[in-house]
Structure 1
Amino acid sequence: MVSKRQADTRPRRVLDARRDTLDFRDRMYQPSLVEVPTRIALEDYQAHGVPILDQGQEGACTGFGLATVANYLLRRRKVVPDATPVSPRMLYDMARRYDEWPGEAYAGSSARGAMKGWHKHGVCAESAWPYKLKRGATGGLTQARVQDAQQRPLGAYLRVNHKDLVAMHAALAEVGILFATSMVHAGWDEVGEDGLISPRETPEGGHAFAIVAYDAEGFWIQNSWGPDWGRQGFARIAYADWLRHATDVWVARLGVPVQLAAPAQSAAAAASAPSGAAKTSFAALRPHVVSVGNEGRLRPGGEYGLSEEELATLFREDLGQTLAAWPKKRVLLYTHGGLVSEAAALQRLAEYRPALLEGGVYPLAFIWKSDYWSTVSNILQDAVRRRRPEGAFDAAKDFLLDRLDDLLEPVARQLTGKAAWDEMKENALAASRQGGAAWRVVRHLAELAQAEKDLEIHLVAHSAGSILLAPVVGLLNAAGLKIRTCTLWAPACSTELFKREYLPALNKGGIEDLAVYALDDATEQDDHCAQLYNKSLLYLVSHAFEARQRIPGLQAGTPLLGLQHCIAADAELAALFGKNGGARLVLAPDKGRAPLSSARHHGDFDDDPDTVRSTFARILEAKPAQLGAISFGRSASSLREQRRQLELKGR
């Protein structure tokens, strides 16, 4: 045992591993009937030569502890073992993306966050992403690190009941190593060469490590405090001490590196992706995604999270190097609609990407967590329940069905409809304020334009995406960047916002070519929201969710650019989109021989082949027929909606 004086001279540790929050989605490990040995000798584990890591005084124990687990599993893999040390830095940084707490401006992380990060991204080699970077080296995810990490994916991972010693022993006997967190006390700083941790009552903080062996007295752990700690980096914690202070335990198996669309992606990540995105790897999509979070700022968390440093790397390496090889330099800024989930937006990007890159257009998509559809559906269902008795409308009340929309609009407005819409608009507009995601993108585009004098900027927005891009127009023009084409599909922006942001740029030449796609009014009124509101989403927004609500017979709603009747009722806009005006209005469904759009619902535009092909043709200055085929898959959300409609029809 070390002396008190020796203990006092030990470096002060940063103990900031956080316990996992409750999550009923965790899959639990269940012991099998495989024989469990009475002991697993520490010497048997040490024979595999797993490196003893040293985190120093850094609070990154989840990254170092999980790196120990990965190093062991890779060395022990029966087919193609890999002795390359993995990157604790990547595991720690990804852990903080998937923790339950927003952002990355905090110390420490959780075991679940670390496991999720490995499961989503794999782990690259230590040489690809050292924990301590050299001066001037690039931090964050890079294309090289992403591709290297896909060679070391995590397969299945399960939570182990840390209070169940039978489950702990069985899991350790089955796999050979466990990832654990525990509260740490003063006894951990007093471990002698025998490796025994003396029990103490008072915890000092949380710590992550690997459990590698056991005997009748307790568990042997491999720590990340260097080989001079304990028994050459190992120590034994008594069972009673463990049961008093342990917090979380996970067991895992390696996944199989698989080749999807080049470059590679882990099978685990593809399994949860929508159909279109599953055919395109994370590594391929990542350089085309700008994740927008709360208050319009870059969202560093999640699978496609993006830090400021990673955005700079994207422009410098991915986008910059791609444009350098093209004779004509084109960048497309795309923003999806408010009804679209993140998964569906990524699927659309995966489907657009091949045709755009083949034509020499680099797509950059703002992925913002709007997914307003579930909110609208819930609001409308609640509104109907509040205004009718249980059961369907009977025949005696059929004559009132034409008034259902009039009933739903004020109720939906009060049931958080307007508040939710206002919040979504605020996040969209905030992206262009100083420090926002769009503001940063424009700054990088302005820098890029200094090197690429012939850089073309193109904008495409669907529905509420037109709100996010509205102030981007002014930012681009202020930076000296003209917009070659601007295409708005069923824009949900108000006519007032359009006149304030888009129209001045068009009149001054800041937008060279503007086109708006919209449903004709008859089709707009034949659309529906959740089979409850009998017109399109734009009608619902105009009548119920915008600043000026509709009062039947007394007051019209707020005019929206995507509604044909609002354009027709505004003399200035009617002239703009008229025969000799300065912009083009495409009404859908277009019944011409070569239709520019065949959309029949508000949500159709982003996956309507005619709409997308005619839009891309304008960008490429080609005819739609000259473009290659653009195939669209069914997203998970659209399949769920189809099931829901079938259920409604079956009632």
Structure 2
Amino acid sequence: MAQNDNESRTFDVLPDPADFRDRLYEPTLIEVPPRIDLEEYKLIKVPILNQGSEGACTGFALATVANYLLRRRKIDPDELPVSPRMLYEMAKRYDEWPGERYEGSSARGAMKGWHKHGVCSSEIWPYVLNKVDRILTSDRIDDAVRRPLGAYYRVNHKDLVSMHSAINEVGILYVTAVVHDGWYHPTPEGVIEPSNKKLGGHAFTIVAYNEDGFWVQNSWGVEWAKDGFALLTYDDWLENAMDVWVARLGAPIRLRSAKATATSLSDNAGKAQVYTFSNVRPHVICIGNDGQLSREGTFGNTEEDVEQIFTNDFPRITEGWTKRRILLYAHGGLVNDRNAVQRVADYRPLLLQNEIYPIAFIWKTDFWTTLTNILEDALRRRRPEGPLDAAKNFLLDRLDDAIEPLARTLGGKSQWGEIKENGILATKNTEGGGRILLKHLDNLLTANSDIEIHLAAHSAGSIFLAPLTQLLATSGKVETGPMKGKPGYGHSIRSCHFWAPAITIELFKETYLPVITNGALKHFDLYTLTDKAEQDDHCANIYHKSILYLVSNAFEEIMRIPLIRDFGKPILGMAKYVADDVELTELFKQSKANWYQAPNNLPEGEIGASRCKGHGDFDDDRLTLISTVTRMLRKEVPNPELEFQRSADSMKDEREQLDSLAKV
């Protein structure tokens, strides 16, 4: 190998951070021979790859693993090389370090990427040195699911017995190590001689072994070492090894129905998400810090990905529809990412069946976990050790009054403020995910004026959509609210549906009410709990009213103080504040706006029907969703196909309840 080629190499593989969730490989009683001959491995003719100067070795080494496993598959072997570029780009998406705009990655990140998405062929996603190409196109996604990863395990890199056993079971290991100057100058026999000059982290594969060490296949071309292979001594390995993984291929499957997609995505399906990603991805936009697009995780996306939704996915999926509709949906603040995506998958069959194309903002809230901790801390500060004395029962009526100021000062107000700010910034920030969506949505609507736009939001989602609605529906400059002074796009919104919205009435009047009044937003439906249901609700069985009562009384700028200020900040999702507001009362007298309170006895299919008894019920209440879709269609929903999958949180709650009963 030429010296200048060596000098251009990049060594920036990152070690896998400790993660005790990793499944550790355990040796079986498979026979382990004293050696595996390299020449036997060469008979399989796994391509020798060349990464060039880019630090993409995690993708190249894992591509070598995939190429080997595909060629060795007993049924339907596949000699078409896979894409190192896809594996490398996905590795950066799943690393524990933020962003993708850097070279280098970790072995675990690459394994997660293959596990989540599969891997496409190099023909569909070719590797061009230093060319930025991060777009997961529909063709790439559809091809990648044909090569899913099955089971994979971490191998103790210090345990040679486990490594020998694993390579005899599977035939190849995916490894990372710190490499040194000796890698530049292997002997004519292909032996890497020791050196104290460290170069950095590198990924490669182990394909054979003998009594002296491991035979490695590198990604530096056939000119390196012995036709692309070299012997790494055990001493060298034990001194410099970082991580080892072993894997098997999964079996490709095809899900033909939207319902099957939702089921496969659920927590009951375990690790089957690779099969559902291609179906759900065109309906999801992930929002991270400061409202910007989140590039990390299974459904992370870039602006190019958002553009793909409108230029590729939407035309493809809606081809043949008699009426095209887009629903922009924002979930509530108590929901984590996984459950939010699951809801999109649950809604998808019903919506697509009725020619409604959903686009959901997944905006990383998950306030519930934080809120529960805050409430538990607040309760501890207001009770003694041991059981409560029955003589103090009269104090239970004042528990909520005591919880509110404590929850506020223990972080509730600041956490709620961050959620609201992040939602607003998604559109207010010029680089925010909402602003990016609006740019591409505007292009679509300008060219296709017949497409209907609908909005729906649960709880804090109403705050997220507020500035977006201002820009989307305002003609000329926005006059009030967070987007004041900004020019709007002037498009019509056919309907807007709020389920127990957490937006303040003040912000609603600044953002939504102007476009409802001037007719740019054609129809508005508000769903709330009755005030009795609101007061019968609870938060973690500590605060004994709904989350909206807690937000109104403790987390907004104005705090409720008993006897001094008996009301908190008026919130649109609370029946008592809606009923007391003169302007809202007048609004709901008009045909373009309706207010429905739950639970009610309206039959399924009738607009306004809802059986919700708590704040968290709205996003998975069958009648509420069917009612919402009926309003969008302006006609009855025929044979509604709707089934909600259970979330991990609900199953966890049931397990804990069963455990507590078992202890009694």
The answer to whether structure 1 residue 597 and structure 2 residue 610 are counterparts is yes
1:408-444 deviation digits (Å, cap 9, x = unpaired) = 1111111111111111111111110211111111111
Question: Which residue does the alignment assign to 2:113?
Answer: 117
Question: Which residue does the alignment assign to 1:557?
Answer: 568
Q: What's the CA shift for 1:10?
A: 3.9
The answer to whether structure 1 residue 567 and structure 2 residue 578 are counterparts is yes
* Pairing 1:438-453 to 2, within 5 Å after superposition: 438-453=434-449
CA contact 2:266–2:646 (8 Å) conserved in 1: no
Q: 1:539 to 1:331 in 2, by over 3 A?
A: same
* Aligned residue type for 1:53: L
Q: What's the CA shift for 1:600?
A: 0.9
Question: Which residue does the alignment assign to 1:496?
Answer: 506
Q: What's the CA shift for 1:263?
A: 9.0
CA distance in 2, matches of 1:181, 1:44: 24
- Structure 1 residue runs without a partner (length 5+): none
User: Given the alignment, which residue of 394, 397, 401 partners 1:406?
Assistant: 401
CA contact 1:575–1:581 (8 Å) conserved in 2: no
User: Given the alignment, which residue of 200, 205, 211 partners 2:200?
Assistant: 205
The answer to whether structure 1 residue 179 and structure 2 residue 191 are counterparts is no
Q: What's the CA shift for 1:469?
A: 0.4
User: Given the alignment, which residue of 539, 542, 564 partners 2:552?
Assistant: 542
Q: 1:212 to 1:436 in 2, by over 3 A?
A: same
The answer to whether structure 1 residue 637 and structure 2 residue 649 are counterparts is yes
CA distance in 2, matches of 1:272, 1:52: 39
CA contact 1:122–1:266 (8 Å) conserved in 2: no
1:323-355 deviation digits (Å, cap 9, x = unpaired) = 453232211001111112222222221121112
Q: What's the CA shift for 1:166?
A: 1.7
The answer to whether structure 1 residue 628 and structure 2 residue 615 are counterparts is no
CA distance in 1, matches of 2:48, 2:17: 29
Question: Which residue does the alignment assign to 1:318?
Answer: 313
Q: TM-score under structure 1 normalisation?
A: 0.94
* Aligned residue type for 1:353: R
Question: Which residue does the alignment assign to 2:465?
Answer: 469
CA distance in 2, matches of 1:505, 1:176: 64
Q: 1:459 to 1:263 in 2, by over 3 A?
A: closer
Q: Aligned to 1:397, what secondary structure does the other structure show? A: helix
Q: What's the CA shift for 1:43?
A: 0.6
Question: Which residue does the alignment assign to 1:334?
Answer: 329
CA contact 2:463–2:502 (8 Å) conserved in 1: yes
Q: What's the CA shift for 1:30?
A: 1.5
CA contact 1:515–1:585 (8 Å) conserved in 2: yes
User: Given the alignment, which residue of 526, 539, 543 partners 1:516?
Assistant: 526
* Pairing 1:170-569 to 2, within 5 Å after superposition: 170-261=165-256, 270=265, 272=267, 281-432=276-427, 433-477=429-473, 478-555=488-565, 556-569=567-580
* Aligned residue type for 1:574: T
* Aligned residue type for 1:150: V
Q: 1:461 to 1:275 in 2, by over 3 A?
A: farther
Q: Aligned to 2:45, what secondary structure does the other structure show? A: coil
Q: 1:264 to 1:280 in 2, by over 3 A?
A: farther
Q: What's the CA shift for 1:290?
A: 0.7
Q: Aligned to 1:93, what secondary structure does the other structure show? A: helix
Q: 1:152 to 1:548 in 2, by over 3 A?
A: same
Q: 1:415 to 1:159 in 2, by over 3 A?
A: same
1:486-507 deviation digits (Å, cap 9, x = unpaired) = 1111000111111111111112
CA contact 2:330–2:362 (8 Å) conserved in 1: yes
Percent identity, aligned pairs only?
53
Question: Which residue does the alignment assign to 2:484?
Answer: none
Question: Which residue does the alignment assign to 2:156?
Answer: 161
1:530-587 deviation digits (Å, cap 9, x = unpaired) = 111110010011111111111111122111110011112222222222x347521111
Q: What's the CA shift for 1:468?
A: 0.4
Q: Aligned to 2:494, what secondary structure does the other structure show? A: strand
User: Given the alignment, which residue of 112, 117, 141 partners 1:146?
Assistant: 141
CA contact 1:274–1:344 (8 Å) conserved in 2: no
Question: Which residue does the alignment assign to 1:612?
Answer: 625
Q: Aligned to 1:423, what secondary structure does the other structure show? A: helix
CA contact 2:267–2:646 (8 Å) conserved in 1: no
CA contact 1:257–1:267 (8 Å) conserved in 2: no
Q: 1:627 to 1:572 in 2, by over 3 A?
A: farther
Q: What's the CA shift for 1:9?
A: 6.1
Q: 1:436 to 1:197 in 2, by over 3 A?
A: same
Q: What's the CA shift for 1:480?
A: 2.1
Q: What's the CA shift for 1:629?
A: 3.8
Aligned length: 644
CA distance in 1, matches of 2:583, 2:260: 51
Q: TM-score under structure 2 normalisation?
A: 0.92
CA distance in 1, matches of 2:573, 2:272: 29
Q: 1:174 to 1:185 in 2, by over 3 A?
A: same
CA contact 1:328–1:360 (8 Å) conserved in 2: yes
* Aligned residue type for 2:105: S
The answer to whether structure 1 residue 61 and structure 2 residue 57 are counterparts is yes
Question: Which residue does the alignment assign to 2:482?
Answer: none
CA distance in 2, matches of 1:170, 1:280: 30
CA distance in 1, matches of 2:103, 2:224: 24
CA contact 2:265–2:342 (8 Å) conserved in 1: no
CA contact 2:118–2:274 (8 Å) conserved in 1: no
Q: What's the CA shift for 1:131?
A: 1.3
Question: Which residue does the alignment assign to 1:96?
Answer: 92
CA distance in 1, matches of 2:399, 2:438: 45
Q: Aligned to 1:638, what secondary structure does the other structure show? A: helix
Deviates more, 1:311-320 or 1:457-466: 311-320
1:281-306 deviation digits (Å, cap 9, x = unpaired) = 22111111111111111111111111
* Aligned residue type for 1:303: T
CA distance in 1, matches of 2:559, 2:430: 32
Question: Which residue does the alignment assign to 2:14?
Answer: 18
* Aligned residue type for 1:205: G
CA distance in 1, matches of 2:492, 2:592: 16
CA contact 2:191–2:230 (8 Å) conserved in 1: yes
